[in-house]
Amino acid sequence: MILYPIHTGNLKLDGGAMFGVVPKVIWGKAYPSDENNLCNWSMRCLLIVDEDRRILIDCGIGDKQSEKFFANYHLNGEETLEKSLASFGYSTDDITDLILTHLHFDHAGGAIRRKEDKSDYTATFKNAICHTSRQQWEWATSPNNREKASFLEENILPIKEKYRLELIENDTELFPGVSVRIFNGHTDGQVIPVISYKDKKVVYMADLLPSAAHVPLPWVMSYDTRPLITLKEKENFMAEAAREGFVLFLEHDLYHECCTVEATEKGVRLKETFSLCEV
Annotated domain spans of the chain: 2-278
Query: Domain 2-278, CATH 3.40.190.10 — does that match?
Result: no
Predicted confidence at residue 115, as pLDDT, reads: 85
Q: Mean pLDDT for the chain?
A: 96
Instruction: Answer yes or no: is pLDDT of 119 > 80.
Output: no
Concatenated DSSP letters of 182-217: EE-SSSTTEEEEEEEETTEEEEE-TTTS-SGGG-ST
Which DSSP symbol is given to 76? B
Cβ atoms of 97 and 56 closer than 8 Å: yes
Alpha-carbon distance of 200 to 249, in angstroms, equals 12
Q: What is the mean pLDDT of residues 136-163?
A: 93
Cβ(224)–Cβ(218) under 8 Å?
no
Distances (CA, A) of 2 to 6, 52, 106, 174, 197: 13, 12, 25, 17, 8
What lies within 8 Å, CB to CB, of 42 at 6+ separation is: 7, 10, 250, 251, 252, 253, 254
Residue 103 has pLDDT above 80, yes or no: yes
Residue 144 — very low, low, confident or very high, per pLDDT cuts 50/70/90? confident
Query: What per-residue confidence (pLDDT) applies to 118?
Result: 75
Number of other residues whose CB lies within 10 A of the CB of residue 144: 12
Identify which of 216, 221, 176 has the alpha carbon closest to the alpha carbon of residue 41: 221
Phi-psi region of 77 (alpha: psi -120 to 50; beta: other; left: phi over 0): left
pLDDT value for 160: 94
Question: Residue 75: what pLDDT?
Answer: 96
Q: Which pLDDT band holds residue 120 (cuts at 50, 70, 90)?
A: confident
Residue 45, pLDDT score: 98
Please report the pLDDT score of residue 117 as a whole number: 77
The Cα–Cα gap between 21 and 223 comes to 11
- How many helices and strands in the chain, by DSSP H and E? 8, 15
User: What are the beta bridge partners of residue 202?
Assistant: 195, 247
Residue-wise pLDDT tens digits, 3-40: 999 999 999 999 999 999 999 999 999 999 999 999 99
Give me the phi and psi of 241, to 5 degrees please. -60, -40
**Alpha-carbon gap, residue 37 to 43, rounded angstroms:** 19
For residue 166, list its beta bridge partners.
131
* pLDDT for the residue 164: 95
Say if residue 100's pLDDT is above 90.
Answer: yes
Within 8 A by CB and 6+ apart from 93, the residues are 125, 126, 127
Look up the pTM and report it: 0.96
Share of the chain above pLDDT 90, in %: 95
- The predicted pLDDT at position 267 comes to 94
The pLDDT value recorded for residue 202 is 98
Q: What is the pLDDT of residue 146?
A: 87
Looking at residue 151, what is its pLDDT? Answer: 94
User: Residue 239's pLDDT band (boundaries 50, 70, 90)?
Assistant: very high
Task: Give residue-wise pLDDT tens across range 258-268.
Answer: 999 999 999 99
